[in-house]
A and B are shown apart, each in its own frame.
Chain A
Amino acid sequence: GEDVEQSLFLSVREGDSSVINCTYTDSSSTYLYWYKQEPGAGLQLLTYIFSNMDMKQDQRLTVLLNKKDKHLSLRIADTQTGDSAIYFCAEERTGFQKLVFGTGTRLLVSP
């Protein structure tokens, strides 16, 4: 199957950490990605993780991958109002030149 699932909505206060979760079904995925979509804009690549890694940190972003459970998460430390957007996880499967996207999680950061 190709289902990549995310919770639809997350609300946090400025300064808190945000954790956005994603589950995927294809164990042959090679790379997993996080994209950000702001209103009226395209999809911006935030970060990615190779399937043989279990963690990747990039400034305020931490990606955790549990390959056994097919679970991916994105943690945003010290969340700012400018982080308010829709966040998509996506998987790339071996041999396919395409990404399969999740449903997207709308993050709302309140002051």
Chain B
Amino acid sequence: EPEVTQTPSHQVTQMGQEVILRCVPISNHLYFYWYRQILGQKVEFLVSFYNNEISEKSEIFDDQFSVERPDGSNFTLKIRSTKLEDSAMYFCASSDAQVLGLFFGSGTQLSVL
């Protein structure tokens, strides 16, 4: 069964460093998303991406965040200068028709020290 894969599963970084979280969406999907879950809190929407551009983003997704689809298979989330409060589980997701049938990866646990 096709699945969304995310790497790495765990990432530890120092405050102020840049991190890139990587995702390989399901191959025929056209819509891509990033969500995050701070420990003990809700899963929160960050950004949606379609046709090589951001289609919607949340208040959390400020100038420190960016997304890119550098080639036909990868979808990345970059955090330019990490803060302690960026520590969370980051989930990538993809779908072939808007949010209906959103498929999530198993997440990258980001720890900012």
Enumerate chain A interface residues (CB-CB to B < 8 A): 4, 31, 33, 35, 40-45, 48, 88, 90, 92, 96-104
Q: Give Cα A21–Cα B103 distance, bound, in whole angstroms.
A: 23
Q: How many residues of B contact A (CB 8 A)?
A: 25
Provide 12 A-B residue pairs closer than 8 Å at the C-beta atoms, listed in order of the A residue: A43-B91, A43-B93, A44-B104, A45-B103, A48-B100, A92-B99, A97-B50, A98-B45, A98-B48, A99-B99, A99-B102, A101-B44
Enumerate chain B interface residues (CB-CB to A < 8 A): 4, 31, 33, 35, 42-45, 48, 50, 55-56, 58, 91, 93, 98-107
- Picked from A41, A43, A96, the residue with its CB within 8 Å of the CB of B43 is A43
Q: Name the prevailing secondary structure of the B interface residues.
A: strand
Q: Is the CB of B56 within 8 A of A98?
A: yes
Question: Nearest Cβ distance between residue B67 and chain A, in whole angstroms?
Answer: 13
Q: Is the CB of B42 within 8 A of A102?
A: yes
Q: Give Cα A43–Cα B6 distance, bound, in whole angstroms.
A: 13
Q: Number of residue pairs across A and B with beta carbons under 8 Å?
A: 55
Contacts of B42 in A (CB 8 A): 4, 101-104
- Are A101 and B43 CB-contacts (below 8 A) given A42-B4, A42-B91, A96-B56? yes
Q: Smallest CB-CB separation from A43: which chain B residue?
A: B104
- Picked from B50, B58, B101, B103, the residue with its CB within 8 Å of the CB of A98 is B58
- Picked from A42, A45, A88, A99, the residue with its CB within 8 Å of the CB of B106 is A42
